[in-house]
Amino acid sequence: MQLYFIRHAQSNNNLLFLQTGESKGRNEDPELSRLGQEQARRLAAFYAALPVGKELGPEERGEQVGFTHLYCSLRVRAIETGLALSRTVGVPLAGLKDLHEAGGIYLDDFDTGERNGLPGKRPQELAERFPELTLPEGLNPQGWWNRSFETREERAGRARRLLDLLLERHGGTEDRVVVVSHAGFYNVFMRLVLGLDGDETFWFALNNTGVTRLDFYADEKRVAFMNRLCHLPVDLVS
């Protein structure tokens, strides 16, 4: 299995932080910004244009371009990014609850310092807004999150659960699997894969639409590349 971990394109919350340096005024589930929409378009166009088997450079020797499976988190910014890929490369998009950002759906209470969990989008709302997205079964009809803020321990368990699921479905195959997720959870997942779980002194940068590829073989794991952004000109990197 080749696993492509892709961060969503720039969201309106990302833009807010770039403009103000703080999180006040953030939306619990933002859409892509105008820049983010362009980033997602270029990401999709780049991978759709690559013929299967093309080698992009010595560090990527043997890469078989042409995705076989696409998954995304149930956050709107990840769905929008995933759909840009799906529509362009012609691979269906499936939602996975465990791909959400660290913490879940929440907003900060700046008076108390608490992080208050929120319901998230209702499955019916997601189905009506994104009919091309295949939703997982068993979602809470009142909101797919609908619980308290996710703890660090829960994040680590979720990363393990996600890795086990991907290996169960795609391990031992030549599948080229994309997951569209988030920078915080990416770090939890990478620390697990690299045997650094629990060590938060490591932070792996992942820009908006940055691409990391991990190869899983029967006897080894290989990091092919991290945070690749060659689909974007410098002025569109965020």
Question: Minimal CA–CA distance to 104: which of 139, 153, 140, 155?
Answer: 155
Residue 105 to residue 120: CA distance in whole angstroms = 6
Predicted local confidence at residue 27, as pLDDT = 94
Strands (E), the chain: 2-7, 69-72, 93-95, 106-108, 115-117, 133-134, 176-181, 211-216, 221-228
Alpha-carbon distances of 121 from 30, 129, 211, rounded to whole Å:
11, 11, 27
3-class SS at 61?
A: coil
Q: Over the Cα atoms of the chain, what is R_g?
A: 17
111: β partners: none
pLDDT in tens, the chain (238 residues): 999 999 999 999 999 999 999 888 899 999 999 999 999 999 999 999 887 654 444 444 444 568 999 999 999 999 999 999 999 999 999 999 999 999 999 999 888 989 999 999 999 999 999 999 999 999 999 999 999 999 999 999 999 999 999 999 999 999 999 999 999 999 999 999 999 977 888 899 999 999 999 999 989 999 999 999 999 999 999 9
Delimit the domains of the chain by residue range: 2-236
Amino acid found at 58 = P
E strand or H helix at 47: helix 34-49
2-236 homologous superfamily:
Phosphoglycerate mutase-like (3.40.50.1240)
Alpha-carbon distances of 165 from 106, 143, 210, rounded to whole Å:
26, 23, 23
The b-or-e profile of 44-65 (16+ CB within 10 A means b, else e) is bebbeeeeeeeeeeeeeeebeb
Predicted local confidence at residue 194, as pLDDT = 94
Contact status, residue 192 vs residue 27, Cβ threshold 8 Å? no
Residue 115 to residue 173: CA distance in whole angstroms = 41
Residue 133 to residue 66: CA distance in whole angstroms = 20
Residues counted in the chain: 238
Predicted local confidence at residue 136, as pLDDT = 97
Predicted local confidence at residue 131, as pLDDT = 98
Predicted local confidence at residue 53, as pLDDT = 54
3-class SS at 2?
A: strand
Structure tokens at 116: 């208050």
Predicted local confidence at residue 103, as pLDDT = 96
* Per-residue pLDDT tens over the stretch 54-105: 444 444 444 456 899 999 999 999 999 999 999 999 999 999 999 999 999 9
